[in-house]
Structure 1
Amino acid sequence: MNKLFTFIAITCFAMYASAQTSIPNGGFEDWTSSSIEYPSYYINNSNIEASMKGFPSNLVKSTDAYHGIYAVQLTSVVANDMFGYLYNSPSQSDPDQWTGGAPIVGTPTGIRGYYKYNVASGDTATVIVSCRKNGNSIGMYLFNMGGNVSNYTLFDFEFQPALMEAPDSIVVAFASSDVMNERFLDGSTLLIDSISLTGLVTQPNFFNGDFEEWTTETMYSPDRSETIYCKQCYQQEVS
C-alpha cells in the first residue's frame, strides 16, 4: 500500500514539474511594450495605472484648450474601476503623506484655473493641494467642482485657513470624480487648463500649470498567453 502511495506522489510531482516547465514565457524573454503620455512632472497618474492593468488611457492630451494648445482631459470608467487622475508626487500614500512636489518660493493663498465638467449631479471632480516644508505637511486643502459646465469656467479657491508659513514645495492633484468619498460615475469627464497658484510673484518651476509640456513613457509587460493551474493531487486508497 505504501508503495502505491509513493507511486502516486511521484507521478503527481512529475505532472507538476511538467506543468511548471510549460508555463508560457517562463523565462521572461518575450515582452510587450506600449506608450503612454501625461503632463510633464505629474508622475503619478491614471495612464500609468491603466497601462499596468491593460486598460485604455483615461488621461488624454486634449486640444480643446482654454489657452495655448493643450489641456488635460480626465475620465472615470466604472467598468475598469478607475477614475482619471494626476498629481506631481512619487508617493502613493494618503495626501498628507505625499512627498516631492514642485519647489516653491513665497506663500500661496489659493489655486485657480479653468475647467469643464459634464455631470449635473451625483459626482464631483476633486482638487487636492498639499503644502509641505522640510518633508512635513503644513497645510492640505480639498476642493470639489461639478455641474454640467460645457464652456470653460474659472475656479478660484482660497486656502482656508491661510498658511502660517511659506512652504518649500507643493503637490497638486486633480481627479475626475469624488475620490475622497470613493464615489464616481461612469463617464464623468473633467477638462482643466491654465492652473496657477495665487499670491505668488512667479509660478513654481516644474509646475507646468498650462499643461503644454508632455512626457511620453514606454511601459513594458511580460507576454503571457494563458494561465497554468496544477490540480491538487489526492491520495486514494486502492484495494
Structure 2
Amino acid sequence: MKFISSIVLVFLLHAGFASGHIPNAGFEDWTSQGFPAYLDPAEWNTLNDQTGILNIYTVTRAEGADAFAGNYAMRMETDHIPSPFDRVTPAITTTGKIDTDEETIEGGFPLTEKPDTLSGWFRYYPADGDNCDITITLTRWNESIGETEQIGEGTFTFSDKVDTYRQFVIAIEYSKQAIPDTALIIISASNPLDPKPGSVLYLDDLEMTMSENAINSAPR
C-alpha cells in the first residue's frame, strides 16, 4: 500500500460543457463505497479506499452542530497508519483523481466561466506544527500546442486553531487571459509534505465567485 507523501499535479481532463459550479459544494451528498462500506462525499475523491481496509477513514461526514449550513459538512483528520506500514497519511479530498502509485492528482471538473475567488467555511484543529491547505488550479486545453496548460491558481494555508466556523476567501491569480475549461480543487487537513497525525479540518459551503478586484483574505 502506498500513500501520498507529496503532491504532483497532472491535468488531463479538458472537457468543456457549460458549467461553473463546484460539485457537491455543501457536502450534502454522500455515497457508500467499498467493503467494508464507508461514506465518501459524492463527486469528490479521498484516500478512504486505501485506508479503509485498516478501519481508518481520514474523511468522514459531520452532521448536526458540526455543519455550517444544511445537514452535513466534511470532517478530515490526518491519521497514522500502524505497522507494518508505519506511515502518516494526510486527510486529502479532491475533485480530481488520486493515483497513489504515481503519487499524482489529475483531472477536475469542467467549467466555462472565469472565477475570481474560491470561498468556503471552515473550523480547524491543527496538531503542533501543522497547517491545512486548500488549492484551486484552473487549466484549459490549448489546441495549438496539443496539451493542457495551467492558467490560474490560488491557495489558502492556515495553521491556527479555529473553534467556530469562519470564512476563507482565495483570490485566483491568472497567468493568461484565456477562459479555463477545468478546475481542480485539492483540500488537505495537513501540510502534504509533512503531515501531523491528529490535525482535524471541518469544511462546508464552498463557492466560486466572479467578483472583480478579488484579493486574498484571511479568515473573518
TM over 0.5, yes or no?
yes
| TM-score, normalising length: structure 1 | 0.62
Give the structure 2 partner of residue 199 of structure 1: 210
Instruction: Report whether the alignment pairs 1:56 with 2:56.
Output: yes
Give the structure 2 partner of residue 34 of structure 1: 36
SS in structure 2 opposite 1:78?
strand
Shift of 1:68: 0.4
Deviations 1:34-80 (A, max 9, x none): 112111111x302112125x242121100011100110000011345
The percent of aligned pairs where both chains have the same amino acid is 18
Letter in 2 for 1:46: L
Give the structure 1 partner of residue 168 of structure 2: 155
Q: Gaps spanning 5+ residues in structure 1: where?
A: 1-31, 201-239
Instruction: Report whether the alignment pairs 1:98 with 2:106.
Output: yes
Rounded Cα–Cα distance in structure 2 between residues aligned with 1:163 and 1:143: 21
Structure 1 163/147 Cα, relative in aligned 2: closer, same or farther at 3 Å? farther
Rounded Cα–Cα distance in structure 2 between residues aligned with 1:162 and 1:196: 22
Shift of 1:106: 1.0
Deviations 1:151-179 (A, max 9, x none): 00010111134652211111111111011
| Rg (Cα) greater in structure | 1
| TM-score, normalising length: structure 2 | 0.67
Richer in helix (by share): 1
149, 167, 172: which one aligns with 1:136: 149
Shift of 1:136: 3.2
Instruction: Report whether the alignment pairs 1:47 with 2:48.
Output: yes
SS in structure 2 opposite 1:191?
strand
Richer in strand (by share): 2
Give the structure 2 partner of residue 89 of structure 1: 96
Q: 108-117 or 138-147, which moves further after superposition?
A: 138-147
SS in structure 2 opposite 1:167?
coil
Runs of 4+ that moved beyond 6 A = none
RMSD of aligned alpha carbons: 2.3
Number of aligned residue pairs: 163
